[in-house]
Chains A and B, each alone.
Chain A
Amino acid sequence: MATMTYRDALNAALREEMQRDEDVFLMGEEVAEYDGAYKVSRGLLAEFGPKRVVDTPISELGFTGIGVGAAMVGLRPIVEVMTFNFALLALDQIVNGAAKIRYMSGGQIGCPIVIRGPGGAALQLAAQHSQAFESWYAHIPGLTVVMPATPADAKGLLKSSIRSDDPVIFIEGEMLYNVKGEVPDEEYLIPIGKADVKREGGDATIICHSKTVTPALRAAETLAADGIQAEVIDLRTIRPLDTEAILASVAKTHRVVVAEEGWGFAGVGAEVVDVIQREAFDELDAPVIRVHQADVPMPYNKHLERAAKADAPKIVAAVRRVCYRD
């Protein structure tokens, strides 16, 4: 196994899939000559040329729509959004277009597109640049929403997403790009819709995804020192949700905390809690508690920002509460 960054793992997935399938191309702002705003597409222009690695103007609605159109007639576009804050401008083409084409056409036309880029907050980027939108996309039937937390998951899931015949929203993290991890040397795919147990434990379950996986694991360490063994479930895919994995862990620990980066209201955690209360009500020994961003736009000031974000101490406190150990 090689150790590589999340960024390089994504880069490898792009390269392998572009080598494998002539119909796969990458399009977005600064993806070609600049090697990507976050350098995820480094070297791809040199290898594949400007036909397949396409720089666009700042025209999110337009180039996403062009990607949707190209996908409708059989190409396999990967549209990079510089961040998902800017994908808001493309939402019409994603929600009214990509997500519904197959259904509206009675199954005649598919839309095998991947829309990818970093989501969520970095550091002190303030209100317009620090937003986690996964629940918005997960709300839409027809879309698949993938959010890997580790380099190995990033590579295997991006490859599966590119091969998917349906539109995939693939949300990365600016703060994840430099994260290092082991990645198998041989080719592999990770199936969409499968959660992963990132740490086993019998006392409580922490359900998380993307950027909350690291703080959840850190929280589990802290809790272990206190005799609480937390199980950490990384959803990896938000839609479809791996309810089986969620319910299996609930049946084991009977206590659950759901952590996510974004806002609580109508968030991913709300959906997870709904599944648990419907399917595993009798298994619960305590109400499920959610950890998420404060219900405010992200402030610029670093102390306020820290207070607003979901982090390991907040997850620790929540787990203690569900264990009645606070």
Chain B
Amino acid sequence: MPTSSPSKSTPKRSASSPPFASEYRDWLRMMVLIRRFEEKAGEAYSLGQIGGFCHLYIGQEALGVGSISALAPDDYVVSAYREHGLALARGMAPRAVMAELFGKATGCSKGKGGSMHLFDTSINFMGGHGIVGGQIPLGAGFAFAAKYRGTSQVSLTFFGDAAANIGSFHETLNMAGLWKLPCVFVIENNGYGMGTAIARAAAISDLWQRAASYGMPGVEVDGQDVVAVRLVTEEAVARAREGDGPTLIEARTFRYVGHSMSDAASGTYRSKEELEASRQRDPIVLFEEKLRGLGLIADGDIKAIEDEVAAVVADAVQFADASPDPDPSELTTDVYAPEGGR
């Protein structure tokens, strides 16, 4: 089985209009929404409205938006704890996400999960998992179930570069490759697991190469380029849907913020200069420039998007703030199924 980097085959499209042109505005809007949402979440954290661990997606927007855009509505998405942006990209209501961060009864997990545990089965967003690598086998499990039931669903599993060093990654990719499960594994390689640079944690830093051990294609993609991410994910999803098995995608990206709200953006583990350099490849700026170059967007459009998004985010915060805490009785619900079994 060929293993390549980067993916060379691109689905055929008409030469006249660029691929996905009709979706570009939506993608840009979603990327801006995620950025502004996360900035507000950071503010709310500083104000004590959000507690616990809170990991922001700032810098990684193109990766989430591009890959999720390749999915059908009933496909599955699962992620680690850096998932606010992925939940929004999948279509979770900003109000429900913000309310969950605030721990309110109106949150997507009733205020019981918080930042790291966003769930919404209506869009097959399967969490929000806090133990590094814990979601990797789950993603393959959704794919296993799809295959078992004979549906055409595909499972998209996100995890960080550092999570590729945990046992569950290796065990799961082996089985997914062996059983040709309809799943796509996306490594969100932002270069660091907390304060550890990838080269200090991985014997082979080109993580896509690990696919070779598990009988699946490995693909590297520029995670700051939303269109490129869409293209490789689309191809991988098509492969999975056709029964040809999983793909490992390594998307190179940056996080512009600290690991969580309690960590500094730069420090002993990465320099200010490195952080500044990464900002030169801001996914939103890159995409805006591309759309401008293509004549698909003007300054007025960007302003309109910013205004609309600002209103949506402000509304989400207002909603979360005004929402009630869960009823005290909620403490003991949802531990077991209310009806027992079938």
Using CB atoms and an 8 Å cutoff, list the residues of chain A in contact with chain B: 29-30, 33-34, 37, 55-62, 85-86, 88-89, 123-129, 294-297, 299-304, 307-308
Contact = CB atoms under 8 A, between A and B. Distances in A.
Contacts of A37: 194
Given A55-B196, A62-B167, A128 B52 contact: no
Contacts of B116: 126, 128-129
B123 to A, nearest CB: 21
B131 A89 contact: yes
B117 interface: yes
A29 B163 CA distance: 12
A126 B130 contact: yes
Interface string B128-153: 01111110000000000000000000
B51 A34 contact: no
Contacts of A124: 51-52, 103, 114
A120 to B, nearest CB: 14
Contacts of A60: 166
A304 B117 contact: no
B319 to A, nearest CB: 16
Contact of A300 (B103, B202, B335): B103
Question: For the complex, would chain A's binding face be called helix, strand, loop or mixed by DSSP majority?
Answer: loop
A307 B331 contact: yes
6 contacts: A33-B268, A34-B269, A85-B130, A126-B130, A128-B130, A303-B328
B196 A304 contact: no
| From B52, B167, B200, B269, residue with most partner A Cβ within 10 Å | B52
Contacts of B195: 30, 33-34
B278 interface: no
B336 to A, nearest CB: 10
Interface of B: 51-53, 103-104, 109, 111-117, 129-134, 162-163, 165-167, 193-196, 200-202, 268-269, 325-326, 328, 330-332, 335
Given A294-B331, A300-B52, A126 B132 contact: no
A128 B131 contact: yes
Contacts of A295: 332, 335
A60 B133 CA distance: 11
A124 B50 CA distance: 9
A90 to B, nearest CB: 10
Contact of B133 (A30, A58, A62, A127): A58
B contacts with A: majority SS: loop
B130 A34 contact: no
A29 B104 CA distance: 33
A29 B133 CA distance: 15
Contacts of B129: 128
B148 to A, nearest CB: 27
A174 B194 CA distance: 18
Contacts of B269: 33-34
B167 A307 contact: no
Contacts of A126: 52, 112-114, 116-117, 130
Contacts of B268: 33-34
A58 B51 contact: no
Given A126-B116, A296-B335, A302 B167 contact: no
Contact of A58 (B109, B117, B165, B330): B165
A86 B133 CA distance: 11
Given A33-B269, A301-B326, A58 B162 contact: yes
A206 B201 CA distance: 46
A61 B53 CA distance: 24
Contact of B103 (A62, A125, A302): A302
Contacts of B114: 124, 126, 300-301
A294 B335 CA distance: 11
A102 to B, nearest CB: 26
A34 B131 CA distance: 20
Given A58-B133, A307-B328, 5 more contacts: A29-B194, A55-B196, A86-B131, A125-B52, A296-B335
Given A58-B166, A61-B167, A29 B52 contact: no
Contact of A301 (B112, B162, B332): B112
Contacts of B117: 126-128, 300
Contact of B52 (A62, A89, A123): A123
A30 B193 CA distance: 9
Nearest to A130: B52
Nearest to A125: B52
Nearest to B160: A58
Contact of B51 (A86, A302, A308): A302
Contact of A299 (B104, B132, B193, B331): B331
Nearest to B132: A58
A231 B247 CA distance: 62
Nearest to B203: A57
A299 B332 CA distance: 10
B167 A304 contact: no
Contacts of B325: 301, 303-304
B194 A296 contact: no
The 7 closest A-B pairs by CB, nearest first: A300-B114, A124-B51, A124-B52, A57-B165, A301-B103, A34-B195, A57-B201
Nearest to B330: A304
A33 B53 CA distance: 22
Nearest to A56: B201
B167 A300 contact: no
Contacts of A125: 52-53
Contacts of B52: 123-126, 129, 300
A27 to B, nearest CB: 13
